[in-house]
């Protein structure tokens, strides 16, 4: 391991680092017969820009719950060797920050404004779960998802840098304290229990149920048919019916949003200066 000078990455350099993690994940999936789809802003970027959305600073992929669990167990058993450079976050147990996995590159440390994060730059890996057909049961599951996502967000709230954030935190301190006492591991466990209530293989529809993102429903069969798609000069996997998916989540996804609605994660990414 060779030490080099630490360097704060630009957005363009962050894109290059993220692309490296996605390439590694794709190589693992191809080698071990695992299926996935790039997702959300990453998929929009592939369709609309043939690469990253210019202002985006993360990468998302999804796997059906059966494939997701296969991937997790293969990493834990050592069948998938991530090597010295890469690591997998925990989505269960006392070390869990989120109810989903992150493939991390240990060469790049990160900080996130006003929020505690995993230590390294990552690609998000979301599991897709079955959903109930009855509207009342679906609404109950959705409300639970929102509840545990809110607890996790507040429990990760770090000391803010801006004065107005200090005021906001002071006003919301009782809520923050309650969420901190509830604890991230417990909230992650409850979020996963809610997501796993309806088996993917036995459900007509599916969605992302473990974490608070845009609420959408698609037939489970949509995530059994995949295609290749170009992204930053490389070929990755996407569901064949990606247009239907993106319209369900975003509506007119081909029209870029105005500048004041362009979502960023505001990650501060640092090259640790280590050749791993």
Question: What's phi and psi for 36, nearest 5 deg?
Answer: -155, 170
The answer as to whether 91 is a domain residue is yes
Could you give the CA distance from residue 93 to residue 89 in angstroms, rounded to a whole number? 11
Could you give the CA distance from residue 250 to residue 276 in angstroms, rounded to a whole number? 39
The answer as to whether 256 is a domain residue is no
The answer as to whether 266 is a domain residue is yes
The answer as to whether 275 is a domain residue is no
The answer as to whether 202 is a domain residue is yes
What is residue 264's predicted lDDT score, i.e. its pLDDT?
Answer: 76
The answer as to whether 29 is a domain residue is yes
Secondary structure string (H, E, C) spanning 135-168? HHHHHHHHHHHHHHHHHHHHHCECCCCCHHHHHH
The answer as to whether 45 is a domain residue is yes
Could you read off the pLDDT tens digit of each residue along the chain, which spans 276 residues? 444 556 999 999 999 999 999 999 999 999 999 999 999 999 999 999 999 999 999 999 999 999 999 999 999 999 999 999 999 999 999 999 899 999 999 999 998 876 788 999 999 999 999 999 999 999 999 999 999 998 888 877 755 555 545 555 555 566 666 666 678 889 999 999 999 999 999 999 999 999 986 789 999 999 999 999 999 999 999 999 999 999 999 999 999 988 888 877 778 999 987 777
What is residue 170's predicted lDDT score, i.e. its pLDDT?
Answer: 59
What is residue 1's predicted lDDT score, i.e. its pLDDT?
Answer: 46
CB under 8 A, 24+ apart: contacts of 48-51: 48/253, 48/254, 48/256, 50/230, 50/231, 50/232, 51/15, 51/231, 51/232, 51/233
Range of the domain at 77: 2-251+261-270
Cα angle, residue 75 at apex, residues 70 and 81 outer, rounded to 5°: 135
Tally the domains of the chain.
1
Residue 88 contacts residue 79 (beta carbons within 8 Å): no
Strand residues in the chain grouped as ranges (E): 2-3, 7-8, 37-38, 60-64, 86-88, 101-112, 120-130, 205-207, 218-219, 226-231, 234-239, 267-271, 274-275
Q: Which residue has the tokens 């569901």?
A: 239
The answer as to whether 276 is a domain residue is no
Neighbours of 275 (CB within 10 A): 10
Contacts of 159 (CB under 8 A, 6+ apart): 114
């Amino acid at each position: 391991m060779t030490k080099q000078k630490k360097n704060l990455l630009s957005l363009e350099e962050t894109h290059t680092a993220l692309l490296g993690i996605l390439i590694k994940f794709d190589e693992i999936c191809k080698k071990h017969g695992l299926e996935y789809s790039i997702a959300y802003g990453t998929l929009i970027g592939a369709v609309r820009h043939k690469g990253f959305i210019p202002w985006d600073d993360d990468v998302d992929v999804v796997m059906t719950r059966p494939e997701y669990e296969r991937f997790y167990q293969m990493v834990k058993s050592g069948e998938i060797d991530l090597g010295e450079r890469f690591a997998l976050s925990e989505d269960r147990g006392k070390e869990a920050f989120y109810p989903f996995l992150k493939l991390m590159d240990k060469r790049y440390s990160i900080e996130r404004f006003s929020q505690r994060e995993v230590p390294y730059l990552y690609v998000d890996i979301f599991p897709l779960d079955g959903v109930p057909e009855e509207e009342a049961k679906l609404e109950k599951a959705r409300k639970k998802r929102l509840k545990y996502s809110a607890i996790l967000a507040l429990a990760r709230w770090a000391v803010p840098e801006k004065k107005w954030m200090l005021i906001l935190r002071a006003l919301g301190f009782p809520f923050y304290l309650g969420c901190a006492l509830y604890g991230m591991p417990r909230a992650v466990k409850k979020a996963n229990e809610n997501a796993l209530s309806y088996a993917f293989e036995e459900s007509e529809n599916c969605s992302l149920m473990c974490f608070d993102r845009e609420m959408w429903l698609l037939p489970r069969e949509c995530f059994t048919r995949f295609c290749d798609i170009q992204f930053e000069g490389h070929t990755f996997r996407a569901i064949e019916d990606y247009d239907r998916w993106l319209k369900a989540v975003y509506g007119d996804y081909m029209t870029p949003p105005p500048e004041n609605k362009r979502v960023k994660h505001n990650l501060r990414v640092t090259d640790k200066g280590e050749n791993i």
